[in-house]
Structure 1
Amino acid sequence: MTAPGPTEPRDEPGRLHQPVVTTLHSRVRPGDRHAYERLLHDLIGAATGHPGALDATVLRPGPSGRDYIVRFSFASQPELEAWLHSAEYRDRSDAIAPLAERVRAPVRRVGPEAWFDLDNVDAPAPHRMAPLVWLGIFPIALLSSTVFRPALLHLPVLPRVMLSAAVQVVLLTWVIMPTLTRLFRRWLHH
């Protein structure tokens, strides 16, 4: 994996302080998979401990495969840039570099389109994203109206809606959409 350097964000300036995802796609050199895994584990541990880090997800290849896709999520573009400019990142990516080659340049996404960026290609067509978002929102809305609403009826409307929306956004962003995009990956990019 060639150490990806900081690149210009592909999002609008007004979205600078929204969560951002960068995706790295690397092909491990034959025979270096175990060493790569150890160094990748160290890189992810350092990344998730960095200020503003939200998550790191690794899509590993099958037993005979060599392609790894790593998604790093940060709270904002400046926090991602701070990580990419840090000595921690530079040292770890320099250690990994001899073990793999970069397949595609890093891509950054902001907001809901980041849910669909699992293999570093352009976001899927809206007619494919919309049903998947609906599929993600439906169980949350159902759960919210049947479980959360009765439990929160004692609260005034504004705090009740704010709390319900916060739970829904967290579930959608960090649980449901990442799961759905993995399950429907081929269909999304077909």
Structure 2
Amino acid sequence: MTSSPVTVSITRHVLPELADEMVRWIRAGEALAEQVPGFLGAGWVRPGLDSDRWQLLYRFADEESLAGWENSERRRSWLWDAEVLGLVESASTRGTGLEGWFDGTPSAPPRWKQASVIWLAFFPLSLIAAYVFAAVAPHLSIPLRVLLTTFVMIPLMTWVVLPQLTRRLGWWLNKG
């Protein structure tokens, strides 16, 4: 199984009078992250000059590269600098391809598209599971068969099938 790039999104609330310090701090963090193998890039945006909200994004080639950055002493030191400067109120999320689907954000596809993609993943997996369990364990009761099927299918759909379908059908899911 190949690993996919990982994007981390961090929201920081910074007083407008600390904007210059924030820019310097972000640039210092980018310079540090560039030294980590697997770093793919970073950036930041603000809704406006008077906004206290800063959205920082950074991307790594895979979870292993990201872990190298997140567990590094240089990152801990960089974050400590943010505390000293008063740039500490934050929240972060990790992107896998399904983000935004269930939180009602404007980027979330319409529910009918979400249902369509889930059905595209669920139907073939259910069909395969039904044939496999009928052939391998025909004596199992229906509740036990459904329990075992969902035990296998839910993680498979969540971490393998749906992220791949979301990426491949992104052109359609995000189409106005």
Q: TM-score, normalised by structure 2?
A: 0.54
Aligned partner of 2:28 in structure 1 is 42
The answer to whether the aligner puts 1:99 opposite 2:82 as a matched pair is: no
| Candidates 105, 111, 125, aligned match of 2:108 | 125
8 Å CA contact retained: 1:40, 1:96: no
**Cα shift readout 1:100-146 (whole Å, capped 9, x = no counterpart):** 2324x211112x446x79xxx67743339x7xxxxxxxxxxxxxxxx
Shift of 1:56: 0.5
Rg comparison, structure with higher value: 2
8 Å CA contact retained: 2:12, 2:89: yes
The answer to whether the aligner puts 1:18 opposite 2:1 as a matched pair is: no
Distance (Å, rounded) in 1 between the aligned partners of 2:48 and 2:70: 28
Percent of aligned positions that are identical:
21
Shift of 1:45: 1.7
8 Å CA contact retained: 1:29, 1:101: no
**Cα shift readout 1:63-116 (whole Å, capped 9, x = no counterpart):** 21121101111000111011011111111111012422324x211112x446x7
Aligned partner of 2:133 in structure 1 is none
- Structure 1: which 4+ aligned runs deviate by more than 4 Å? none
**Cα shift readout 1:32-88 (whole Å, capped 9, x = no counterpart):** 211121111110121133210111121134221121101111000111011011111
Question: Closer, same or farther in 2 for the Cα pair 1:77/1:45, shift >3 Å?
Answer: same
| Candidates 45, 60, 66, aligned match of 1:59 | 45
Paired residue secondary structure (1:91)? helix
Compute the RMSD of aligned alpha carbons: 3.5
Question: Closer, same or farther in 2 for the Cα pair 1:46/1:102, shift >3 Å?
Answer: same
More contact order relative to length (CA 8 Å, sep ≥ 6):
1
Aligned partner of 1:33 in structure 2 is 19
Question: Closer, same or farther in 2 for the Cα pair 1:32/1:86, shift >3 Å?
Answer: same
Q: TM-score, normalised by structure 1?
A: 0.50
Distance (Å, rounded) in 1 between the aligned partners of 2:21 and 2:47: 15
Aligned partner of 2:129 in structure 1 is none
Aligned partner of 2:63 in structure 1 is 77
Distance (Å, rounded) in 2 between the aligned partners of 1:68 and 1:38: 13
Gaps of 5+ in 1: 1-13, 131-172
8 Å CA contact retained: 1:48, 1:56: no
8 Å CA contact retained: 2:10, 2:55: yes
8 Å CA contact retained: 2:16, 2:49: no
Distance (Å, rounded) in 2 between the aligned partners of 1:125 and 1:61: 20
